[in-house]
Structure 1
């Protein structure tokens, strides 16, 4: 006798319990695309979200990042219209970026200063809302309280809907290794600001 899988959603349709669910991108796909809710648009959104993540892996030059996946995509809404991700990056990764990559990352850390509208361009292309947070773990760093405050604010957005109901969200590692040839072929210049 096979056991019926239990739903990962609460009575409001949100991932339960509220808060982080540590998993892999593969499991997110199995659960939210191929599993309980196998709808066409979900598959397209998932592919676009993963493509967005891979572009940031290319931009940052590392897959040592954490990704929060939240919003309606991690609910039981059959056909959500977009995905929400927050990419957490260790501050020391920024030390190894060229100046254009730093500008791109800065645009997602401080979207109010993004004069190139990069977040909007990504949203229009891939229907993916992207935020970047610096994930400082050294409490002795003078910037630690500021980074932690930004992280706490973002977590509130990922754990409560507009009506204040609790929501869960996924925390995944970027579980993709790419060869150097794939990195070179896949680099997306559209994420880079112009020289002007």
Structure 2
């Protein structure tokens, strides 16, 4: 219940505001996790920030699906037979939730790509020696009048990949939706 409320609070904060705030906090001194210190130019920090920012967008639909399945007949039958909780989770619930996760993953990857590019463009994401479409667009910003393709090419690449990920997510949703498949087959 507490974790659900934390996710609701994270859901209420705009994604880019949250990501920019976390990036600014970690970029100055790096990130300290116990004895581990991650430098600000480390690639793990932007990845961790993007994962943290988009966690509620994955957790809420998956939690809703799990809550709908927990009172299903096959789960109740397994409980009445004394099957351990971990086995019910792995054998009964996870396979039924897997299709939701598979459909959601490409859509969240598209959003994560846009967020990473925006943070890198603002110089608070992936730093210069590491290649990022956001940093390439930022480098091409000064050349937009003399050599516009330096900025346009990575922008087009972002658009193409985001559209491709969205089409992939839609295709997976159509392919894995049992109700829709049964309607088409009948």
Question: Under a length normalisation based on structure 2, what TM-score does the superposition of the two structures give?
Answer: 0.30
Q: Compute the TM-score of the two structures, normalised by the length of structure 1.
A: 0.29
From the two aligned structures, give the one with the greater helix fraction. 2
Report 1 or 2 for greater relative contact order, CA contacts < 8 Å, sequence distance ≥ 6.
1
Higher relative strand content: 1
